[in-house]
Chain A
Amino acid sequence: AQSVTQPDIHITVSEGASLELRCNYSYGATPYLFWYVQSPGQGLQLLLKYFSGDTLVQGIKGFEAEFKRSQSSFNLRKPSVHWSDAAEYFCAVLDFGNEKLTFGTGTRLTIIP
């Protein structure tokens, strides 16, 4: 069965600093990978997704993620964070067989002035 690991439960960065959120996956074939963001009290919004092709994926709100097969990773990055980026971020992998998403446990991002 597939799995997703987000090793950082909570990250704090200063506004304007760069950001990298880690995601490692376990899946037997080429994965379909997603990053979602959840603002406080809200549902989940898709940031970006990787299916195939270019391993550097651009998403909304200035986020990007890089798929690295050799490291089984799909890390999320942003060059300069804004206070509005404070949220919880979830990485997920799609299982081809049953088309179900498996989520990581999430990383909570705090932005300090």
Chain B
Amino acid sequence: NAGVTQTPKFQVLKTGQSMTLQCAQDMNHNSMYWYRQDPGMGLRLIYYSASEGTTDKGEVPNGYNVSRLNKREFSLRLESAAPSQTSVYFCASSPSGGARQETQYFGPGTRLLVL
């Protein structure tokens, strides 16, 4: 039982390049989330998926797209990376999109540097 896994752990991109951050969970959770963490800003929600086949925007969605491939996997895509997207990205999952007492479980993060 690995929990929430993320790949890659670290990535350097040039401005304009594209890449996909991968996230998978093995806890049979319905909901999955992508956050970015920047110094002094805490964690901010980019996108989330309440269930397989659904996605919705969070607080800072611009410049990103997501895909809920199946119940286990939720990917985040940067189509044209910008220096402002340099950040640490965290994926999280929680048991149920309908529950009120859910706890989110976090992956180890992906550190992205855009030059």
Contacts and interface: CB of A to CB of B under 8 A. Distances in A.
**Residue of A36, A44, A94, A96 with highest tally of chain B CB at under 10 A:** A44
A99 B101 contact: no
Interface stretch (A12-20, A69-77, A79-87, A103-111): A103-111
Nearest to B91: A43
Interface string A5-49: 000010000000000000000000000101010000111111001
Interface string B52-77: 00001010000000000000000000
Given A44-B90, A99-B50, A99-B97, A105 B40 contact: yes
Given A32-B101, A96-B100, A100-B58, A105 B42 contact: yes
Interface residues of B, number: 26
Contacts, number: 52
A36 B107 CA distance: 13
Given A43-B107, A49-B103, A100 B45 contact: yes
Given A32-B100, A32-B101, A45-B106, A99 B42 contact: no
**Residue of B41, B43, B103 with highest tally of chain A CB at under 10 A:** B43
A-B CB proximity, top 4 nearest = A43-B106, A103-B42, A44-B106, A105-B42
Interface of B: 4, 31, 33, 40-45, 48, 50, 56, 58, 90, 92, 97, 100-109
